[in-house]
Chain A
Amino acid sequence: MISALFSILIFPGFLFLSTVALYAEYFDRILYARFQNRKGPPWFQPLADFIKLLAKEDFVPTEANPGIFRLMPLVALASSVAAFLYIPLWSVNSLYPFSGDLIVVLYLLTIPTIAFFVGGWYSTSLYARIGSVRTITQMFAYEIPLFMGILAASLLSGSWSLSDMAAFYAKNPSYMAFNVIGFVVSFIALIGKLEKAPFDIPEAETEIVAGSFTEYSGKLLAFFRMTFDIEFVVGASLLAAVFLPFGLTLGPILGFLVYLIKTFFIIALISLTRTVVARLRLDQMLAFSWQIIVPLALVQLFINIILKGLLKI
């Protein structure tokens, strides 16, 4: 009981995850700044921002539904933390593996997006409403390729458990190479999920102020921002576990280092992507997703189905 609480709340649960998430935000921001020829923030900036927001007044609009308005940041934060517990990090086993945990992780990662939508919608601001509609429209565009990319990898391994998948790929490391298209598809979909450029349409500052979060302030905004940071790490860890499953049998210390390198490599790729592109329009994003990304994901599925027959796995 106590060890379970320890692993959920402290390591590798909430506290550890929050620390890594804040560092990931710093890492992303400093890389983005250096790519842009700027100095960037000091290492404690994300933590300082978080503490500052916690100290600020919570402001709930008169027209908003106060219950839902206050609840949504917590729902988003809790579900993104929960998803982390089922991802294999530095060994082939996650904290609580069970058959079908892949579906649970994808499901838990969808909840924050729904929470952004509901929170934005119930805050009744015009900007927030447009932002939340954009959030939900965009979700339909990236969620399906993300699922298809990851399910293609699980198809090859013949299991819907992330831990079993990790074990399978650790045994047959050369099979990783078959999932390159899936990795690219999932990586692009992950950028959409994290609402980073070129898919930062739901919170396009110059168009709709801050999108769903326009009316949020203080602690509630701090939780939403923390959710984004945690989603950042969880998403990168998920991609690392599914598409880069090496170094899982190296033991705790070396494995932990390899895990960090893999995760931060994916974060650096996202920073690089958002440095070199402009924000797309919603219609362009939908067209890009359905005309290019989804067909690519389908190709990956077919490749893996055929491979499964050929290799007799």
Chain B
Amino acid sequence: MSEGDFKIPVGPQHPSLKEPLSFSVALKGEKILGVDIRLGYNHRGIEKACEERTYLQDVYLIERICGICSHAHSTAFVQAVEEIAKLEVPKRALYLRSLIAELERVHSHLLWLGIAGHEVGFDTLLMYTWRDREIVMDLLAEITGNRVNYGMNAIGGVRQDIDAPEIKKILEGVKTLEERTKYYIDVATEEATLIERLSNVGVLSKDDVLRLNTVGPTARASGVARDVRKDDPYAAYGDLHFDVITDDHCDVYGRAVVRLKELMESYKMIREIVENLPEGPISVRAPRRIPAGEAVSRYEAPRGEDLHYVKSNGSDKPERVKVRAPTLANIQSVKKMLEDRYLADLPIVVAAIDPCFSCTDRLIGVSDLDKNSGKVMSWEELVSYGVDWYRKNRGVDLSKLNESFVKGRKYS
């Protein structure tokens, strides 16, 4: 770095970030020279926790990976378990899963639009979209009982059915939302300052998308028609009629246009689902113990492809659960998008992938085989090591508590 260059920290705590993540931005004046991204501030150990719980409990735990695409994660998980258990899920349940999925996409994309407005200092857009988002939140609460973490999925189907008055409410809500979304499309394509701020910002070419394995609306805005709903249909998507929206702007503006047009597709799908809802049961009985086997399940979350891997050993608890949230696939592209941009573009470029950092954080141990400095510890040793470390470094003596803890419980 020459004179006049300096590094500015954006995160882990910063007004433009809703979740902890750290960017170390090297600047020359307003120009970005380089960005170091550091994840890992919000590791929650959900994958490991899943191995300690039964499949039924895991459905609810998995749902809490993300507050916004909760249905995405729980559906991906139950799909994998159903595949291992070879369960035939009733058609009505599949349609209901798709219904919730599309309503979730609507609320997620409206939320994104508001955040994007806020990041470029257009708070009016934030206030308007979040007001309208309440309509779909109310619909979700009406159908499932909750605004987020709907608890709709069960292994072998869904937990709640919908009736005629609810269908009427859904159609009314979708009608209002469709009108408003048309208005937002007008705003996004006509408001000069907004277009100025979004165009040619965070450019990611089609080649880069393929090279960096970008997923979701970020990939589709660069002209790559990559959508699990079309490529590998799950739930009811095989029966539904919809287009995969792509755009060739390759910039943040393109990503906004893709999300707005996807909203219109979602409204179309919601109508089709409630009008062609098949009759029949909404779930089949699932066994408590899932036969041994493994499965990978893909799901098109609002942010992109969500991938779950479940391995069963024949007991009532999974042996391994692995979640690849869409943000993990997209975060690498941010560095590319920020090349030669200004500091003022950083918030909107990061926001444009619709990041969800807490869903992405994993703990990965990398051991250096050459130095062979790794050490295998038992669970008790690890607990004692942790307690000692804190006593030495932070002055908190937890050894008494630790003793009673170790005595009271056996660790496998």
Query: Are A278 and B117 in contact (CB-based, < 8 A)?
Result: yes
Query: Are B124 and A281 in contact (CB-based, < 8 A)?
Result: no
Contact of B343 among A200, A208, A209, A280 (CB under 8 A): A208
Contacts of A130 in B (CB 8 A): 8, 27, 30, 343
Alpha-carbon gap, A197 to B123, bound state (A): 10
Alpha-carbon gap, A204 to B191, bound state (A): 20
A207 at the interface (CB under 8 A from B): yes
A103 at the interface (CB under 8 A from B): no
Contacts of B16 in A (CB 8 A): 205-207
Instruction: Please report the number of residue pairs spanning A and B whose Cβ atoms sit closer than 8 angstroms.
Output: 81
B36 at the interface (CB under 8 A from A): no
Contact of A36 among B121, B124, B197, B344 (CB under 8 A): B124
Query: Are A276 and B124 in contact (CB-based, < 8 A)?
Result: yes
B119 at the interface (CB under 8 A from A): yes
Alpha-carbon gap, A201 to B193, bound state (A): 13
Contacts of A283 in B (CB 8 A): 30, 342
B38 at the interface (CB under 8 A from A): no
Contacts of A275 in B (CB 8 A): 124
Contacts of B197 in A (CB 8 A): 278-281, 284
Query: Are A35 and B124 in contact (CB-based, < 8 A)?
Result: yes
How many residues belonging to A are interface residues under a CB distance threshold of 8 Å?
28
Binary CB contact string for chain A from 113 to 155 against chain B (1 if under 8 A, 0 otherwise): 0000000000000110010010000000000000000000000
Binary CB contact string for chain A from 278 to 297 against chain B (1 if under 8 A, 0 otherwise): 11111110000000000000
Query: Are B8 and A38 in contact (CB-based, < 8 A)?
Result: no
B15 at the interface (CB under 8 A from A): yes
Contacts of A209 in B (CB 8 A): 14-15
Query: Are B131 and A207 in contact (CB-based, < 8 A)?
Result: no
Contacts of B346 in A (CB 8 A): 207
Contacts of B193 in A (CB 8 A): 198, 277-280
Identity of the chain B residue whose Cβ is nearest the Cβ of A129 in the assembled complex: B6
A3 at the interface (CB under 8 A from B): no
Alpha-carbon gap, A172 to B281, bound state (A): 84
Name 6 interchain pairs, CB-CB below 8 A, sorted by A: A126-B8, A198-B121, A206-B119, A276-B191, A278-B117, A283-B342
B residues with CB within 8 A of A: 6, 8-9, 14-16, 27, 29-30, 117-125, 127-128, 131, 191, 193-194, 196-197, 342-347
- Beyond the given pairs A35-B124, A207-B344, 4 more chain A to chain B contacts, judged by CB atoms under 8 angstroms and listed by A's residue number, are A206-B16, A208-B343, A278-B197, A284-B197
- Of all A-B residue pairs in the complex, the 9 with the closest CB atoms, nearest first, are A279-B121, A278-B122, A206-B16, A36-B127, A278-B193, A206-B347, A277-B193, A281-B344, A278-B120
